[in-house]
Amino acid sequence: MSDAYILVVDDEPDIRNLVQEILADEGYQVAVAESGEAARTARRERRPDLVLLDIWMPDVDGISLLKEWAEGDAPPFPVIMMSGHATVETAVEATRLGAYDFIEKPLSLAKLLLTVERALEAERLKRENLGLRRRMHTPVEPIGKSAVMSRLREQVKRIAAHDTWVLISGEPGVGKKTFARYLHGLSARKEGPFIEMAAGSIASGNSALELFGSEEGETIHYGRLEQANGGTLFLDEISDMDAETQTRLLSALENKSFLRVGGSQPVRVDVRVLAASSRDMEEEVREGRFREDLYYRLNVVPLNIPPLREHLEDVPELLAFYVEQFVTLDHLPYRHFTVAAQNRLRNYDWPGNIRELKNLVHRLLILGNDEEIGAEEVESALSTSRPQPPANRVEELEHSLFDLPLREAREQFEREYLTRRLEAVGGSVGKLAKAVGMERTNLYRKLRSLGITVRQR
């Protein structure tokens, strides 16, 4: 992390300038602050990767600043305290408040550089471990040797070489996040952070806070955009983002700077944005639910992830991968699929895509007893996983729709309506298009966005 951004806070000019020169010679980006108030300003302008903080200063002492900056048990970045007159009690208090280490003055430059290097490395490992826990069941590289997957991996490699924004599309469960991580890992930003934000999982009205952070007095919350500085921000289900946040995001992407919620000073960022959606974004724009200018800003390079039914030859490899992963990480008993079971699953249409396959493997490993997973067991698992429509489905649907937000209610109705009409015309999209009065291309997009499988019956 030789390009890490370090803030040096010390009221003694000689020490402040010496430390700045030494760190700059090591390849770090360095800013300095001569007081506690200047440190507050510098922290507000840009989130540091590490802070070297003097304890005794004329306006605000370092311990008070450490208390201000703490989020939970520790500040959002490593802090190394510096002092020539500190007591053991002061050092213990600094450590309790989350300081990484304590260095006595006069400074040993060799010890200073070593402590800085260790603190940055510890922070990097903490971030990697957190990311590892989040993606325990996510392959590092998309699985599959089919022609479809081989072409897709080559496409991602070409895209990764250019620092452009990418809009990833595909049905729910196809692995859009896997491809986003894969693209980040191949890019020039691979050493930087990979920060995720699922717009649909954030309560209405909180998107701006999560994305841009907030300021209230001296309390600063760094949002996902700022956390991703120097790396990649992955915005999942971007179509769920509210209109106000869409407008702020567009401004941030155009100006490469933004205001935190409640803030007055712009914060500059250098971030690559990867957005994803399982909806038809062109239709979202046409219907006025998504800003057209933001759509074109994000859609510099489109990347479509095909559904699993279009590369069924990869099913055996995916089964083996997830068996191995659940056995290794979750310590489940090893079981293997017979050839007959694999053949049955290669002839299944996988409406839930790879997510459904992964869940099926997990369930079979948990519930099964024998080392072999046969075709009968697979058939039973598939039949129990399919939702069975109740006799009073219409009445149930009518009541449930009124409890949903408008967009979700409309989507649920469209899925039910088109599924029934598709069954009524024997699976013919051409006949369905005439029956519902839609152009065939638009109808295909709508069916795909709703996750409806098209089969001739």
Statement: residue 443 has pLDDT above 70: yes
Q: How confident is the model at residue 136 (pLDDT cuts 50, 70, 90)?
A: very low
Share of the chain above pLDDT 90, in %: 47
Statement: residue 156 has pLDDT above 60: yes
pLDDT of the residue at 244: 87
Average pLDDT rounded to a whole number, residues 217-246:
89
pLDDT of the residue at 412: 76
Average pLDDT rounded to a whole number, residues 289-314:
95
pLDDT of the residue at 221: 85
Statement: residue 330 has pLDDT above 90: no
Average pLDDT rounded to a whole number, residues 193-199:
88
pLDDT of the residue at 390: 47
Mean pLDDT of the chain: 85
**Which domains, ranges and CATH numbers included, belong to the chain?**
5-133 (3.40.50.2300), 147-306 (3.40.50.300), 309-385 (1.10.8.60), 393-449 (1.10.10.60)
pLDDT of the residue at 202: 67
Q: How confident is the model at residue 128 (pLDDT cuts 50, 70, 90)?
A: low
Which is higher by pLDDT, 410 or 314?
314
pLDDT of the residue at 86: 65
Instruction: Convert the pLDDT of each residue in 63-80 to its tens digit.
Output: 889 888 876 667 888 999
HEC per residue, the chain: CCCCEEEEECCCHHHHHHHHHHHHHCCCEEEEECCHHHHHHHHHHCCCCEEEEECCCCCCCHHHHHHHHCECCECCCCEEEEECCCCHHHHHHHHHCCCCEEEECCCCHHHHHHHHHHHHHHHHHHHHHHHHHHCCCCCCCCCCCCHHHHHHHHHHHHHHCCCCCEEEECCCCCCHHHHHHHHHHHCCCCCCCEEEEEHHHCCCCCHHHHHHCEEECCEEECCHHHHCCCCEEEEECHHHCCHHHHHHHHHHHHHCEECCECCCCCEECCCEEEEEECCCHHHHHHCCCCCHHHHHHHCCEEEECCCHHHCHHHHHHHHHHHHHHHHHHCCCCCCEECHHHHHHHHCCCCCCHHHHHHHHHHHHHHHCCCCEECHHHHHHHHHHHCCCCCCCHHHHHHHHHCCCCHHHHHHHHHHHHHHHHHHHCCCCHHHHHHHHCCCHHHHHHHHHHCCCCCCCC
Instruction: Convert the pLDDT of each residue in 338-371 to its tens digit.
Output: 999 999 999 999 999 999 999 999 999 998 888 9
Statement: residue 307 has pLDDT above 90: yes
Instruction: Convert the pLDDT of each residue in 235-288 to its tens digit.
Output: 999 998 888 889 999 999 999 999 998 888 899 999 999 999 999 999 999 989
pLDDT of the residue at 385: 63
